[in-house]
Amino acid sequence: MLVSTIRKSLSKLYVQVLIGIIAGILLGHFYPDIGSQLKPLGDLFIKLIRMLLAPIIFASVVVGIARMSNLHEAGRVGVKAVLYFEIASTIALVVGLVVVNIIKPGAGMNIDPAHIDSSAIATYTQAAKQHGMLDFFMSIVPNSIVGAFANGEILPVIFFSVLLAIALAKLGPRTAPFVDMLDMFLQGMFGVVRIVMYVAPIGAFGGMAFTIAKYGIGTLASFGQLMLCLYLTSIFFVVVVLGLVMRMCGLSLWKFLRYIKDELFITLGTASTEAVLPQMLIKMEKMGCSRPVVGMVLPTGYTFNADGTAIYLTMAAMFIAQAMNVHLTLWDQLLVLGVLLLTSKGSAGVAGAGFVALAATLATMHKIPVEGLVLLLGVDRFLNEARAVTNLIGNGVATVVVARWEGELDMKTARAMLDRKGDTSIDALEPIGQPAGQPRAVPEPIARPHVH
C-alpha cells in the first residue's frame, strides 16, 4: 500500500520537478564544482520548449481567429485584453513602489557609485539602448516572417498570425480545409510538448544546481531583505489582487493554483515562463476558456502583462536608489512609475529580460546610477524566480478574466476542472475541444463590467 502510494506520487510531474529542484540546491551547495557545469541541462530544456513556441503560437492564433464567426469579436477580445493588462500592470507597479518605500531594503548600504566596476553589466546596458518605445513598436513588424519564426520572436509571430487569420476568415468556408490542417498540426505540436515535459525535472535540476553553485546560498543572506521584500510583495499581489479578481470571476484562486501546480514548479526551477507556455495553452482551453481567447490573450500577455516583472522593476530601481543614498522626491518616484509603464513592456518570459528593462529605465531617468545594477547581479536569478512565477499566475488569471468578460468561459467545465484533487497534468485531463458536430456548452450569463 505504502509502496503503491509512493510510486503514484513519484509519477506526478510536479513531484518530480520538486525533487529535481531540491537535488539541484543540495548538489550546487555541497559540490559547487559539479553544479557549475550543469547549466547546459537547464538551457537544453528551455531550448526544447523554445523550439516549439513559434509554431504553437502561430497555429493557436490562426485557428482560433479564423474560426470566429465575427471578426469584430477578435478585435473586441484584443481591446479587452490590453485594457486588463494595463490595469493589472499599473496596480503591480504601485504595489511594488508602496512596499519598497515602507520597508526600505536598500537603506544603510551607503554604496559609492565611484567604487563600482560596471564592466559586468555592459551586456545589459548595451541591450537597454535598443529598448526604447519606438524600437519596441518597430520590432512588432518583422523584417522577414521566416526570420521571426527562426529566432522565436513571439510578438512578430503573433502579429503575422493575426493578419493571416483575418485574411483566412474573410475568404470564408473555402479555407476550412487549411484551418483544419493547422488544427491537426497544433495537436501534433502539443503531443511533442508532452514528450518534452519528461525532461522537465532534469532541466529544473540543472538550472538550480548551476544557480546555487555560481552565486551560493550566502548571496541570499547578503541581500535577504530585498529578496524577502520581493517575495512577500509578490505573494501579496497574487493572493489579494489576483485572488479578488478570480473571486469576481466566480472562481477560486487557490483551486486555480492547484490546477497549474506542475507549471508553477517548472517555472520555479527554470526561472522562465516560456518553459510552460505550450502547457498553459492546453490547460486554459481544457479549463473552459474558448480557443480564440486563449490563443490571443495568453501569448500576448507574455509581452504586455508581466505583473511580477512590474513589481520587481519598481522595487529594484528604488533599492538601488536607497543603497546609493539617491534621494527621490514623490514626483521623481512618479516619474519612475511612468517610465516603467513603458519599459516593462516587452519583458517576455525569458530569464534576464527584466534586467534589461531595468537598465533601460535607469538609463532613461539619468538620476539613479545605472552602475547600481551590479548590486543585483548576484541575486537576480533568485529574484527572477519570484517574478516568473507571478507572471505565470497573472497571465493565467488574465485569460480567465477576458474569457469571462467576453462570455467565452464555460463555467461548468471550469469549476469541474478546478475541483479536481488528483492528477492535473495535461495527460490526465480530458482531450481539448469537443467531438465534431457537438455544440459548445453555453457559458453562464454575466454582467458586462462598465469601464469608467
Helical segments of 305-419, H only? 307-323, 330-343, 353-365, 374-377, 380-406, 411-418
pLDDT at 353: 59
Q: Per residue of the chain (452 residues), what is the pLDDT tens digit?
A: 667 777 777 777 778 888 888 898 899 888 889 988 888 888 888 788 878 888 888 888 888 777 776 667 777 888 898 899 989 988 998 999 999 889 888 777 777 666 555 554 455 455 545 555 566 677 778 888 888 888 877 778 888 988 898 888 888 788 889 988 998 998 888 888 888 888 888 988 888 888 788 777 665 665 778 888 999 999 999 999 999 999 999 999 999 999 999 899 988 888 778 888 888 999 999 999 988 888 888 888 877 788 888 898 888 888 888 888 888 888 888 888 877 776 666 554 444 556 667 776 776 666 777 777 777 766 777 788 888 899 999 999 999 999 999 888 999 999 999 988 766 776 666 544 443 333 344 444 444 434 33
Q: How many domains does the structure of the chain reveal?
A: 1
Sign of the alpha-carbon dihedral angle for 364, 325, 347, 93? negative
Nearest to 152 by CA among 58, 75, 272: 58
Count other Cβ atoms within 10 Å, centred on residue 188: 12
Cα–Cα distance measured from residue 290 to residue 354, given in angstroms and rounded to the nearest whole number:
30
Range of the domain at 340: 10-30+39-418
Q: At what angle do helices 261-270 and 200-215 cross, to 10 degrees?
A: 40
Reduced to 3 states (helix: H, G, I; strand: E, B; else coil), residue 374 is helix
Element (H, E) at 448: none
Q: How far is CA 53 from its chain centroid?
A: 13
pLDDT at 238: 95
* Contact indicator for 289, 387 with CB cutoff of 8 Å: no
Cα–Cα distance measured from residue 163 to residue 116, given in angstroms and rounded to the nearest whole number:
48
Cβ contacts of 41 within 8 Å, gap of 6 or more? 202, 203, 205, 206, 207, 209
pLDDT at 252: 94
pLDDT at 385: 84
Is residue 239 domain-resident?
yes
Is residue 354 domain-resident?
yes
Does this model's pTM top 0.85? My answer is no
Q: How many helices (H) and strands (E) does the chain have?
A: 24, 0
- Name the burial class of residue 299, with classes exposed (0-12), middle (13-18) and buried (19+) by CB atoms within 10 angstroms of its CB: buried
Count other Cβ atoms within 10 Å, centred on residue 126: 11
CATH number, domain with residue 395: 1.10.3860.10
Rg (CA), the chain: 22
Reduced to 3 states (helix: H, G, I; strand: E, B; else coil), residue 444 is coil
Is residue 434 domain-resident?
no
Cα–Cα distance measured from residue 425 to residue 442, given in angstroms and rounded to the nearest whole number:
26
Is residue 154 domain-resident?
yes
Is residue 150 domain-resident?
yes
Q: Looking at the DSSP assignment, which residues form a beta bridge with residue 289?
A: 409
Is residue 448 domain-resident?
no
Is residue 441 domain-resident?
no
Q: Output the nine-digit C-alpha cell for 100.
A: 519598497
Is residue 124 domain-resident?
yes
